[in-house]
Amino acid sequence: MSSPRWQEMHQALTAAGLIVQKSAENRIENLQSVVPLIEAANSSGVRLLNANSVEELLAITSHESEVQSDSVKPNSQTTLPKSENEGPIGRVIAPLQRPHLTPPRPRKPSGFSSEDFPLEASEVDSDIEIHFDITGKSSTEGRISDMQSCFRSRLSQIRDMMLSKGVLPRRPLANSDAWRNRRRHNSKDYEITIVGLASDVKWTRTGSLRFIVEDESSQIMCILKPPNDASPLHASLDGLMDDEIVGVSGWFLTGERDPIFFSRDIHKPPLGNHSKAQAGEEYAVSAAFLSDVHLGSKTFLAPQWAKMIDWFKNDPLARTVKYFVLSGDGVDGVGIYPGQERHLNIKDLFNQYGELARMLEEVPDWVDVVMLPGNHDAVRPAEPQPALDPEVQQDYSNTVFVGNPCDFSLHGVRVLSYHGKSIDDFVATLRSVTYSKPEMAMQAMLERRHLAPSWGGKTPLSPEPEDRLVIPEIPDIFVTGHVHGHFVGDHKGTLMVHSSTWQDQTDFQRMLGFQPKPCILTVVNLHTYASEAIHFA
């Protein structure tokens, strides 16, 4: 029989329009209050509460941050009030009205080495070459045949990579051939290899990983037992993404009613040490990276933006910047989630884009802006996303509009820019990936040679007949955003940049104890690969 406390909680959740499954009852009953859970579900659009969705809503980080009350100054940006009759809570962030901003205080010049950043950008002509952008090339009609073609394309592309780079111990068999000869391949002396899409991935009580491998011919159930020591196999037990391409070596256990493929090893697509291309000495300019500006939100950090513009106009390092890459969510959008209008300072979508255009006009004219869309922008949510509509583009100058993701080169340096919505799926699936370490998701994308493997997860995907989210060429620079963190580092020769945001902590992030890392501009020289992180907060 349910306790009175649980009945009261369940009644509150039901009144909020949420459906609670049995698997979530124990976790919810241990909460001090269901109010944060309700607010989290409403903000993220979740309606079904099961064990997984509750953990995702409440456990983005392992700790909860305490909200501290500060005095509130007139005409200032603060967190939202709990009700209309109460004052705002939380700390004062920044003034809302730009006309009342005081001039930014001079920043200390960047302590960079002129040898690392040797050339001024005004001396060099632009050189942007687009290798892939879905804009104008989407051909899907959303039919089952398009989905089938997309998955066949993914399997074909990545399997060919595996074969050409020799990452498989032997030539793989088609699943139908392996199954037909399963009684022959029933011991480690007759080991075989298969390649396909992983699906229905589950952990057993003993710590083994059960999953299905599917190719064009059939499906085979596989099991991977945990290693007894710290062998390389242990890395495979980080988990598998649904629909990622894997190779599996092993043999059939035929003594059971339903034969199962005993997996001795899992093979990932090839990712060797990459040798980065360099811009020539005569093109030794820099690229700056930023994402998630979220203009229009009440938590957009306007004074810090003014400080960045002042830096662009006056700092010696800024004069080396030729390209400014904005990797999605330039504006906060309208109607992205329920109740968003309460968080908006600019409530008209076109006014948001118009104000962003006006602000980018302040960037010096020697800088070319490259702008991608994100999940808050006014394009289709399904990836790959096309560039912003021409009606929006007409307000901008010195801006190259591309889709998401976009594979392009700057003076021969190959850049893969992706907003990063699929990081949500990697966090939900892989044990090593957390929101506080988005670089782990970026590594996982490179290791899988795919930006968003999981169909039907948190990332909407468009079933293009050719899967254009495969990573066919290893980039020299791989940049993402979306989760409002910051990271610069190398992974097997690729420079990974997780771009910072220009939005302060939101109510939703505060409730979950998530601390963003705002107002950090990453600058990378295209010849030396020297990098600087410029802090404006």
pLDDT digits (tens, 9 = 90+) for 369-416: 999 999 999 999 999 999 999 999 999 998 999 999 999 999 999 999
Q: What pLDDT is recorded for position 59?
A: 54
Per-residue model confidence as pLDDT tens digits over 423-456:
999 999 998 899 999 999 999 999 999 999 999 9
Tokens, residue 417 = 């820019």
Residue 262 is assigned to a structural domain of this protein: yes
Does residue 255 share a domain with residue 353? no
**4 CB contacts (<8 Å, ≥6 apart)?**
none
d(C-alpha 449, C-alpha 492), whole Å: 13
Phi/psi at 21 (5° precision) = -90, 160
Residue 144 is assigned to a structural domain of this protein: no
Phi/psi at 117 (5° precision) = -130, 75
Q: What pLDDT is recorded for position 491?
A: 97
Q: What pLDDT is recorded for position 185?
A: 93
The residue out of 203, 234, 267 marking a domain boundary is 267
Does residue 293 share a domain with residue 215? no
Does residue 209 share a domain with residue 298? no
Pick out the chain residues at pLDDT < 50: 60-104, 230-235
Q: Are 235 and 453 spatial neighbours (Cβ–Cβ below 8 Å)?
A: no
Residue 411 is assigned to a structural domain of this protein: yes
CA distances, 516 to each of 181, 213, 318 (Å): 54, 38, 24
**429 CB contacts (<8 Å, ≥6 apart)?**
201, 239, 240, 241, 242, 454, 457
For residues 424, 426, 451, 299, the Cα torsion angle rounded to the nearest 10 degrees is 30
Does residue 259 share a domain with residue 354? no
Q: What pLDDT is recorded for position 236?
A: 55
Return the DSSP state at 121: G
Does residue 289 share a domain with residue 252? no
Provide the domain count of the chain: 3
Phi/psi at 358 (5° precision) = -60, -40
Residue 90 is assigned to a structural domain of this protein: no
Could you tell me the sign of the dihedral formed by the alpha carbons of 140, 460, 448, 278, in that order?
Answer: positive
Residue 451 is assigned to a structural domain of this protein: yes
Q: Are 502 and 305 spatial neighbours (Cβ–Cβ below 8 Å)?
A: yes
- Own/partner long-range contacts of 161-164 (Cβ < 8 Å, ≥24 apart): 161/269, 161/270, 161/449, 162/195, 162/247, 162/267, 162/269, 162/270
* Side-chain-facing half-sphere of 433: CA atoms under 13 Å: 24
Q: What pLDDT is recorded for position 232?
A: 44
Residue 425 is assigned to a structural domain of this protein: yes
Report, in this order, helix, strand and coil percent for the chain, each rounded to 5.
Answer: 25, 25, 50
Does residue 364 share a domain with residue 487? yes
The residue out of 267, 296, 318 marking a domain boundary is 267
DSSP 201-266: EEE-TTS-EEEEEE-SS-EEEEEEPPPSSS-GGGGGGG---TT-EEEEEEEEETTSSS-EEEEEEE
Does residue 294 share a domain with residue 435? yes
Q: What pLDDT is recorded for position 108?
A: 60
Tokens, residue 8 = 């009261």
How many Å is the Cα radius of gyration of the chain?
Answer: 25
Question: What's the pTM?
Answer: 0.79
**25 CB contacts (<8 Å, ≥6 apart)?**
6
Residue 279 is assigned to a structural domain of this protein: no
The range of the structural domain enclosing residue 26 comes to: 4-58
Does residue 322 share a domain with residue 224? no
Domain with residue 493: its CATH number is 3.60.21.50
The residue out of 58, 73, 91 marking a domain boundary is 58
Q: CB neighbours (10 Å) of residue 482?
A: 26
Does residue 477 share a domain with residue 386? yes
Does residue 400 share a domain with residue 498? yes
Q: What pLDDT is recorded for position 301?
A: 96
Residue 311 is assigned to a structural domain of this protein: yes
d(C-alpha 62, C-alpha 30), whole Å: 16
- Among residues 367, 303, 290, the alpha carbon closest in space to that of 536 is found at 303
Does residue 360 share a domain with residue 248? no
Q: What pLDDT is recorded for position 104?
A: 46
- Among residues 239, 206, 151, 216, the alpha carbon closest in space to that of 428 is found at 239
Tokens, residue 377 = 């922008």
d(C-alpha 349, C-alpha 333), whole Å: 6
Place of tokens 């594979």: 407
DSSP 286-326: EEEEE----BTBTTB-HHHHHHHHHHHHH-TGGGGEEEEEE
Does residue 303 share a domain with residue 184? no
Q: What pLDDT is recorded for position 138?
A: 94
d(C-alpha 396, C-alpha 372), whole Å: 14
Domain with residue 192: its CATH number is 2.40.50.140
Using alpha carbons only, what angle is made at residue 248 by residues 247 and 252, rounded to the nearest 5 degrees?
150
